[in-house]
Structure 1
Amino acid sequence: MKKRNLAVVLLATTLLVGCGTTNNGEAQDVQIETQTSQESGATATETPKEESTEKEINKVLYDNNGIKAVFTSFNQNGAYGPEIKLQLENTTEKNITVQVREVSINGYMMDPIFSEEVGTGKKANGSINFFESDLEENGIEQVNSIELSLHIFESDSYDTIDDSETIKIVINDVEETKKEVTGQILLDKDGLKVTYKDMVVDGDGEVSLKVFVENGLDTEATIQVRDCSVNGFMIDPICSIDVEPGKKANDKIGFMSWDLEEQGLEGVAFETVEFTLHVFNDNGTIMDVPATINLK
């Protein structure tokens, strides 16, 4: 089922906050008037105070099934990078765990750290932590928007309680500029595009072929690599890239040093990499596309 979007517009004159559900279970948007950073009584000659990087928000993102998630603050410069603080409340009779899924910043897929357990009848404060290195990899200097869904399950049985609809949090209401990506196009079909950018060899001998994925399909897609060979030798790289519809991802096809050593490829220059891009979702295979990267 295609998820609906809840818009949460923050740090602006008007906020849109997904706040619970209507009686028929449909999500509703609630407009809340807030004040801009300059107080209404301040004059143009007053010197504005330097703002903290942490913004207090205190808006409800989810309130259903006896479980509430409140977005309490956002910090652009958290311990590892940008940080979203949540307060969770569990009024059910079961211990629960809350995680995040399908997360993106400014339209680029991310993999933050967040898993918070809340006992029955209890509350808990937690932080969704993003890595600054992931933002740098995607050329993101300022967080403008964040999209995510909440995955909630019983801690003891691991049974799913709910997967929320997509929650969109707008930090800075600006239009994103499209960034040009150069490289070899490996796949360009039905709105799905995969581009090979460059190769990186780290100090441990691991080889990474960096790729950029744009998902213009109307469904989520996972891209994996099958039937791969390097210079004619079969090898199994690490590659599984999840991209939501309308989103982008910078990722890699990774070759581990011990696999390269086993095939006699350790320290050997890559000349030709051949493989099949296997694209699928929960409903099955979307497409299988052969690809070749010539590095001579």
Structure 2
Amino acid sequence: MKRLVGTLLFVVIALSLSGCENSKSKETTNSKTDIVSVTNSKDDNKTKNEVMGKILLEDEYAKITYAGIDRNYTDGPRINFVIENKCNQNLLIQVEDVLVDDYSTTPIFSCQVLSGKKVKDTMTLYQYVGSDSKVEKDFKLVEGKFRIMANDAKNSLLKAEPFEVNYCSSGEREKKEEKIIFDNEYAKISYIGIERNSYGGPDINIKIENKSDKTLTIQATDILVDGYMVDPKFTSDILSGDKIKAEINFINKGVSRNLKSIEGNFRITTKDNSAELLKEEPFTIAY
């Protein structure tokens, strides 16, 4: 009897030890998986780390360094800079000709820096209701010029320096497929997509570039959708040299979300009291 009890105890102890070994093996495996996850997380942030601290401009007057971005700010994405005045006069620094993913925008940025000092400042890519150039939060590229001026009564321009902040992990800009609708001496219009499920009816997304030295007004006229006349909501004003995004809206016009073709004319006029007709260009978009 004692021998039987001893044998049973030996079996129980052996099974317990085996269970402990399996448990340790599982814990080790899980630990390795966690380490791999952390490594992947670092890879995802590689692009952000490479951009952070990038010197955007350095000359005899100033040094401007990229210091991060807040994409979720209420009024629009905000880009942070550290600005150093390297010269012996007070400076006023502003931006001009700013493009976000190749679209013109008018950011809020003006910075005064005393001689020999450093400041932190922010450029806001401002968004407002009805803006044709609304900045998408996941944009990939910002480019433009820093205007370096003497901060005095004349605000004399000392230098204009180009800059670029690229968020693409590949180092190359991501471009949406564009189809040129027309390209003449006044303007270039490209088709960039359709939002079939937009509220009230489909939206046609286009890109407009003003190639002239005048502010233009562009309208869509004589529109046919699948052979039926429609009066869409579209008129766009664009400054000389600008590039903007715009939408042709078919809100509450009874247009099918499964439309197959759109045709009509783009009417190009000057935006002044004369509203001079410069050109009328026919177009067709087929799906």
Alpha-carbon distance in 1 for matches of 2:87, 2:176? 44
More helix as a share of residues: 2
Alpha-carbon distance in 1 for matches of 2:135, 2:123? 20
**Structure 2, gaps ≥5 residues long:** 1-33, 192-204, 218-234, 248-265, 272-276, 283-287
Native 8 Å contact 1:222 1:240 kept in 2? no
Task: Label 1:81 to 1:122 Cα distance change in 2 as closer, same or farther (>3 A).
Answer: same
Alpha-carbon distance in 1 for matches of 2:89, 2:140? 36
Q: Does 1:168 align with 2:160?
A: no
Task: Label 1:109 to 1:92 Cα distance change in 2 as closer, same or farther (>3 A).
Answer: same
Within 5 Å, which residues of 2 pair with 1:94-243?
A: 94-133=89-128, 138=134, 140-156=136-152, 157-164=154-161, 166-172=162-168, 173=170, 175-178=173-176, 188-189=183-184, 192-194=187-189, 212-214=207-209, 222-225=213-216, 239-243=237-241
- Identity, % of aligned pairs? 20
Task: Label 1:211 to 1:170 Cα distance change in 2 as closer, same or farther (>3 A).
Answer: closer
Task: Label 1:223 to 1:46 Cα distance change in 2 as closer, same or farther (>3 A).
Answer: same
**Structure 1, gaps ≥5 residues long:** 1-41, 197-209, 227-236, 253-272, 279-287
After superposition, the CA RMSD in angstroms is: 4.5
Q: Which residue of 2 aligns with 1:43?
A: 35
Match of 1:290 among 273, 276, 279: 279
Q: Which residue of 1 aligns with 2:200?
A: none
Q: TM-score when scaled to structure 1?
A: 0.51
Q: Which residue of 2 aligns with 1:250?
A: 245
Alpha-carbon distance in 1 for matches of 2:100, 2:213? 18
Alpha-carbon distance in 2 for matches of 1:124, 1:169? 19
Q: Which residue of 1 aligns with 2:68?
A: 73
Q: Which residue of 2 aligns with 1:204?
A: none
SS of 2:57 mapped into structure 1: strand
Q: TM-score when scaled to structure 2?
A: 0.52
Alpha-carbon distance in 2 for matches of 1:129, 1:60? 19
- For these two proteins, the number of residue pairs brought into alignment is 193
Native 8 Å contact 1:57 1:74 kept in 2? no
Q: Does 1:276 align with 2:269?
A: yes
Task: Label 1:154 to 1:137 Cα distance change in 2 as closer, same or farther (>3 A).
Answer: closer
Native 8 Å contact 1:103 1:146 kept in 2? yes
> Which amino acid letter does the alignment assign opposite residue 215 of structure 2?
Q
> Which amino acid letter does the alignment assign opposite residue 168 of structure 1?
E
Native 8 Å contact 1:243 1:249 kept in 2? no
Shift of 1:241: 1.4
Native 8 Å contact 1:108 1:138 kept in 2? no
Shift of 1:162: 0.4
Alpha-carbon distance in 2 for matches of 1:175, 1:96? 32
SS of 2:56 mapped into structure 1: strand
- The structure with the larger Rg is 2
